[in-house]
């Protein structure tokens, strides 16, 4: 009898550990109806402190303007409008956010990652060439790509480098949903060549197997783009 009880306890502990991994792999689950972010609190936590229920208003769950195209007059020809916990405080602890992405003809949302979220994207207008690259599997990083047309949907797994490119000659628009209230974005080129302070040109030259002068030019270009 004791052996059976111990087996049951061991099974329950294993289940608890497995469940804990699932919980901590994403945003923390809510323990109440909602936890509207209190942006005025000086307490630092992983996320945001809850606003008092008595102070919560309907506007805490609202934003507007996603019907309007973003300004794509820039070097990349794209514009991302994120709707996350910084925009809607009511998203705090709910583990979801979204974005509208507008593309000029030949516009690009460059290779980037979301360290805290999986992304699912649907095209509202135009046509996009999209893809993601796997993590290091042996010596190979596999590329998965697809041409998306209006109404098509594509998923970018959490943390993987991905991109969207409007290869057409008309505007394109997409809506993305993400599995975090604050997904984070790391744009690869900006992180590598535009970090502050700069990564050593010797390190980058060796990593990319190019001359250090090329790295110096790229870093100088990124510095100029971000300071003009």
Binding-site annotation, residues for oxalate? 109, 114, 119
Strand partners, 125: 173
Residues contributing to the annotated binding site: 109, 112, 114, 119, 162
Residue whose tokens read 């008092």? 52
Supply φ then ψ for residue 224, to 5 degrees.
-65, -45
Residue whose tokens read 């992983």? 46
Residues contributing to the annotated binding site for Mn(2+): 112, 114, 119, 162
């Amino acid at each position: 009898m004791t052996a059976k009880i111990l087996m049951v306890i061991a099974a329950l502990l294993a289940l608890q550990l497995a469940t804990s991994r699932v919980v901590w792999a994403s945003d923390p689950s809510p323990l109440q109806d909602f936890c509207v972010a209190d942006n005025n609190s000086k307490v630092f936590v992983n996320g945001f402190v809850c606003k008092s229920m008595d102070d919560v208003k309907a506007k805490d769950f609202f934003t507007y303007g996603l019907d309007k195209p973003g300004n794509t007059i820039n070097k990349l020809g794209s514009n991302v409008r994120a709707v996350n916990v910084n925009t809607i405080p009511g998203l705090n602890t709910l583990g979801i956010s979204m974005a509208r992405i507008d593309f000029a003809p030949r516009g690009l949302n460059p290779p980037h990652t979301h360290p805290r979220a999986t992304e699912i994207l649907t095209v509202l207008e135009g046509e996009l060439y999209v893809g993601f690259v796997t993590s290091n599997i042996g010596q190979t990083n596999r590329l998965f790509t697809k041409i998306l047309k209006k109404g098509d949907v594509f998923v970018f797994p959490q943390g993987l480098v991905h991109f969207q490119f409007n290869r057409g000659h008309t505007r394109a628009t997409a809506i993305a949903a993400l599995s975090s209230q604050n997904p984070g974005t790391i744009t690869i080129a900006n992180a590598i060549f535009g970090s502050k302070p700069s990564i050593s040109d010797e390190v980058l030259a060796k990593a990319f197997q190019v001359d250090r002068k090329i790295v110096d030019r790229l870093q100088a270009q990124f510095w100029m783009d971000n300071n003009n």
